[in-house]
């Protein structure tokens, strides 16, 4: 008779392991009241339509009203979406999340007049107003961004229609979310002694890092098979999202979806292509890593499910409180203020929802809005991988904290291109601290394993998905067919390059990887993990080596929000990501880790 290990229900999770959503709204009823208040604010904002050209004072009033509306909308969306993310079986939370999307679409339509009307005023007039009216000086960056993308802003009527598509165009994302985190079921993983373990989005990570190879193999295979059973449905959902990207790019007169994603942030498409080329040039490093791992594990063949197998039996146990201590110690070069905010958020403010429970969304993320605390969703498993994930999400959260604390609503949301810099900065900096202080060989091996797991996700999986994403969108733009088997074939071929002859190639199960990533619904987002880790390592090196002014420049970067263009903000912090050099340097650091691991495991 086999033993079965199951995930607990959300209602059985200890209070202290959940995030403090009540800090936004005490009850769902208070959330409903906020929705009504927002509905009453919309007419006050709409009243400024066709009036922005009256005077600088009227424009300032409209901006302030827009910020008031946007702040309240952010709180409404954060509360609803976060509650749904940790328990997809909570029908009330799911309903509120859907309602929040509808409210967001309606509010976006009410705001749609703003940019087109600014353009009718004329940029010369706007610049004169800002020069003559000190209270409007803050608006300069917004106007500059608008001027740069003015060729892609449509009339008020079209902008309103595009804003109204927000709710319906979120359908693909929502369908993926419900299939992935609610309806999709997996056969249990089975260990070598017959014990069965429930596979869920919050438990897979811990299952594929177990020393029992049978358990790892069955977890990986059954997880992939769950997606293969719905491959046609998943392909239909994803191709819908891709075609929506293509539609929006065409409506806004961009050459393609890639340009539509990068150009609003003033990021040239060459950055994307440079990353892919550097990645392809460094594939031999990955091939060597697979060999080192196979030999260290004493295996004749090496499968994808062996990539995170522990290389030492002395796997460090890292409780949540210990992880917080180590992260705080590692981040000490940024100063006492940074560390105290981080520690208080984790241990007193309940920023982190860390439980593993049935119905919890896959992966990890940091969320929040102007006027709220940062919030982190993850599934903590008392190991170095979880410590690293926590450090990563705290990087996002501290970036958000400083941006919101130092910028008004208009500039409080930093661009996606810089988002993965702060998160990877924390991981690199904490890892550097642990490398110096935890010198036991087994701990060092486990630490390198964690580092390589991080690199594997951001410097192997994500660049491969970036290549896949570009191919998908290119095909959609040309009207070429996209089906489940075509998508599986495209991604399988790309992964085959990366795995080479060193990894057993299970074509169908590897090829379905695209169905497992929510990131595929975020128009050309995944490449930014690789550029982010590159920028992060360069900046972390400056801070940890004590370079004069490096810590202060980095903190100023965190505080800048979107008040500067992403590449400009990073240059002022100390790294130029318009060049392929930081990516190449990060790959050199990766190669050094592989060499060090090879020495440690003999």
**Over the range 488-501, which residues count as b (16 or more CB within 10 Å of their CB) and which as e?**
bebbbebbeebbee
Least confident span in 69-73, 221-225, 307-311, 340-344: 307-311
- Residue 59, pLDDT > 70, answer yes
Phi–psi pair at 5, nearest 5 degrees: -110, 120
The residues with which 363 forms a beta bridge, in sequence order, are none
Answer positive or negative: Cα dihedral of 509, 510, 511, 514: positive
Rounded Cα distance, 374 and 23, in Å = 11
- Residue 8, pLDDT > 50, answer yes
Report how far Cα 348 is from the mean position of its chain's Cα atoms. Answer: 25
Q: How confident is the model at residue 159 (pLDDT cuts 50, 70, 90)?
A: confident
Rounded Cα distance, 147 and 150, in Å = 5
Average pLDDT over residues 519-530: 91
Alpha helices, H only, 122-170: 123-132, 140-148, 156-169
For domain 250-314+417-602, the question of CATH label 1.10.1370.20 is answered with: yes
Q: In what order do the strands lie in the sheet with 352-353?
A: 352-353, 375-377, 365-367
Instruction: Look up residue 266 and give its two tokens.
Output: 């003033």
Inter-CA distances, 30 with 25, 36, 81, 351, Å: 6, 10, 16, 20
User: Could you write out the DSSP letters of every residue in 384-453?
Assistant: HHHHHHHHHHHHHHHHHHHHHHHS-GGG-S--HHHHHHHHHHHHHHHHHHHHHH---HHHHHHHHHHHHH
pLDDT digit string (tens) for 458-477? 999 999 999 999 999 999 99
Nearest to 451 by CA among 318, 582, 590, 310: 590
Rounded Cα distance, 259 and 324, in Å = 40
pLDDT digit string (tens) for 357-385? 988 887 899 999 999 999 999 999 999 98
Give the H/E segment covering residue 57: helix 56-85
Among all residues, which ones are annotated catalytic? 393
- Residue 531, pLDDT > 80, answer yes
Query: Residue for token digits 């969703």?
Result: 377
What confidence score (pLDDT) does residue 5 get?
A: 63
Please, where in the chain does CATH 1.10.1370.20 lie? 250-314+417-602
Rounded Cα distance, 124 and 270, in Å = 31
Please, where in the chain does CATH 1.20.140.70 lie? 21-169
Nearest to 98 by CA among 76, 65, 129: 76
What confidence score (pLDDT) does residue 44 get?
A: 95
Q: How confident is the model at residue 399 (pLDDT cuts 50, 70, 90)?
A: very high
What confidence score (pLDDT) does residue 1 get?
A: 35
The DSSP 8-state label assigned to residue 310 in this structure reads -
Other beta carbons within 10 Å of 233: 17
Rounded Cα distance, 3 and 6, in Å = 10
**Averaged confidence pLDDT in the chain:** 94
Contact 343, 328 (CB under 8 A): yes
Strands 375-377 and 365-367, bridge-based pairing:
antiparallel
What percent of the chain is modeled with pLDDT above 90?
82
Helix axes 484-499, 231-251, angle to 10 degrees: 90
Contact 114, 66 (CB under 8 A): yes
**Over the range 408-418, which residues count as b (16 or more CB within 10 Å of their CB) and which as e?**
ebbbbbbbbbb
What confidence score (pLDDT) does residue 162 get?
A: 86
Rounded Cα distance, 3 and 25, in Å = 42
Rounded Cα distance, 13 and 350, in Å = 14
Other beta carbons within 10 Å of 341: 17
Instruction: Look up residue 262 and give its two tokens.
Output: 């990068």
Q: How confident is the model at residue 99 (pLDDT cuts 50, 70, 90)?
A: very high
Strand, helix or coil at 315? coil
- Say which residues have a Cβ less than 8 Å from residue 211's Cβ, sequence separation at least 6: 309, 310, 313, 315
pLDDT digit string (tens) for 161-172? 888 888 888 888
Rounded Cα distance, 569 and 399, in Å = 13
- Residue 307, pLDDT > 70, answer yes
Average pLDDT over residues 82-91: 92
- Residue 173, pLDDT > 90, answer no
Rounded Cα distance, 131 and 122, in Å = 14
Q: How confident is the model at residue 150 (pLDDT cuts 50, 70, 90)?
A: confident
Instruction: Look up residue 341 and give its two tokens.
Output: 């905010």
Rounded Cα distance, 150 and 144, in Å = 10
What confidence score (pLDDT) does residue 3 get?
A: 54
Answer positive or negative: Cα dihedral of 334, 335, 337, 339: positive
What confidence score (pLDDT) does residue 4 get?
A: 54
- Residue 348, pLDDT > 70, answer yes
Q: What is the pTM of this model?
A: 0.84
- Say which residues have a Cβ less than 8 Å from residue 250's Cβ, sequence separation at least 6: none
What percent of the chain is modeled with pLDDT above 70?
99
Give, in degrees to the nearest 5, the angle at Cα 508 between 504 and 509.
70
Rounded Cα distance, 264 and 298, in Å = 50
Query: Residue for token digits 């318009």?
Result: 578
- Residue 2, pLDDT > 80, answer no
Strands 196-197 and 4-5, bridge-based pairing:
parallel
> Which CATH code is given to the segment(s) 21-169?
1.20.140.70
């Amino acid at each position: 008779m086999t033993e079965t290990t199951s995930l607990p229900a959300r209602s059985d999770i200890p209070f202290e392991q959940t995030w403090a959503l009540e800090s936004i709204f005490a009850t769902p009823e208070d959330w409903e009241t906020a929705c009504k208040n927002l509905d009453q604010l919309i007419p006050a904002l709409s009243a400024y339509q066709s009036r922005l050209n009256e005077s600088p004072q009227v424009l300032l009033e409209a901006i302030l009203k827009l910020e008031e509306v946007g702040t309240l909308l952010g709180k409404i969306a954060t509360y609803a979406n976060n509650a749904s993310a940790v328990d997809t079986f909570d029908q009330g939370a799911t309903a509120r999340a859907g309602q929040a999307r509808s409210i967001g679409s309606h509010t976006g339509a009410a705001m749609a007049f703003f940019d087109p009307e600014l353009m009718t005023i004329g940029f010369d007039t706007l610049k004169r107003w800002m020069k003559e009216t000190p209270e409007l000086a803050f608006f300069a960056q917004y106007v500059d961004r608008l001027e740069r993308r003015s060729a892609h802003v449509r009339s008020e009527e079209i902008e309103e229609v595009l804003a109204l598509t927000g709710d319906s165009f979120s359908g693909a994302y929502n369908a993926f979310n419900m299939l992935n985190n609610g309806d999709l079921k997996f056969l249990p993983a089975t260990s070598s002694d017959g014990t069965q373990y429930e596979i869920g989005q919050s438990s897979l990570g811990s299952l594929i890092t177990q020393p029992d190879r049978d358990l790892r193999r069955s977890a990986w295979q059954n997880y992939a098979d769950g997606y293969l059973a719905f491959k046609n449905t998943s392909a239909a959902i994803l191709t819908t999202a891709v075609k929506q990207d293509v539609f929006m790019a065409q409506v806004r007169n961009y050459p393609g979806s890639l340009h539509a994603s990068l150009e609003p942030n003033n990021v040239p498409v060459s950055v994307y292509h440079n990353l892919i080329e550097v990645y392809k040039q460094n594939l031999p490093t990955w091939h060597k890593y697979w060999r080192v791992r196979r030999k260290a594990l004493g295996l004749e063949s090496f499968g994808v499910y062996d990539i995170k197998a522990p290389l030492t039996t002395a796997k460090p146990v890292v409780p949540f409180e210990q992880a917080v201590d180590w992260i705080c110690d590692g981040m000490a070069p940024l100063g006492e203020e940074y560390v105290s905010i981080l520690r208080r958020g984790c241990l007193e403010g309940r920023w982190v929802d860390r439980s593993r429970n049935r119905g919890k969304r896959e992966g990890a993320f940091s969320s929040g809005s102007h006027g709220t605390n940062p919030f982190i969703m993850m599934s903590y498993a008392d190991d170095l991988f979880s410590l690293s994930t926590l450090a990563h999400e705290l990087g996002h959260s501290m970036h958000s904290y400083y941006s919101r604390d130092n910028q008004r609503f208009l500039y409080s949301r930093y661009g996606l291109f810089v988002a993965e810099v702060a998160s990877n900065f924390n991981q690199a900096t904490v890892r550097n601290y642990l490398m110096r202080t935890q010198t036991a060989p087994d701990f060092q091996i486990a630490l390198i394993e964690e580092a390589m797991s991080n690199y594997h996700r951001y410097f192997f999986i994500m660049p491969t998905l970036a290549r896949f994403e570009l191919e998908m969108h290119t095909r959609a733009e040309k009207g070429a067919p996209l089906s489940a088997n075509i998508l599986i074939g495209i991604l399988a071929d790309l992964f085959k390059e990366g795995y080479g002859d060193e990894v057993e190639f299970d074509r169908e199960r590897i090829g379905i990887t695209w169905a497992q990533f929510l990131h595929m619904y975020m128009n050309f987002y995944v490449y930014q993990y690789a550029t982010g880790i590159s920028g992060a390592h360069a900046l972390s090196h400056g801070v940890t080596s004590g370079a004069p002014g490096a810590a202060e420049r980095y903190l100023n970067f965190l505080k800048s929000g979107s008040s500067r263009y992403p590449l400009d903000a990073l240059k002022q912090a100390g790294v130029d990501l318009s060049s392929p050099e930081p990516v190449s340097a990060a790959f050199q650091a990766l190669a050094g880790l592989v060499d060090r691991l090879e020495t440690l495991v003999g």
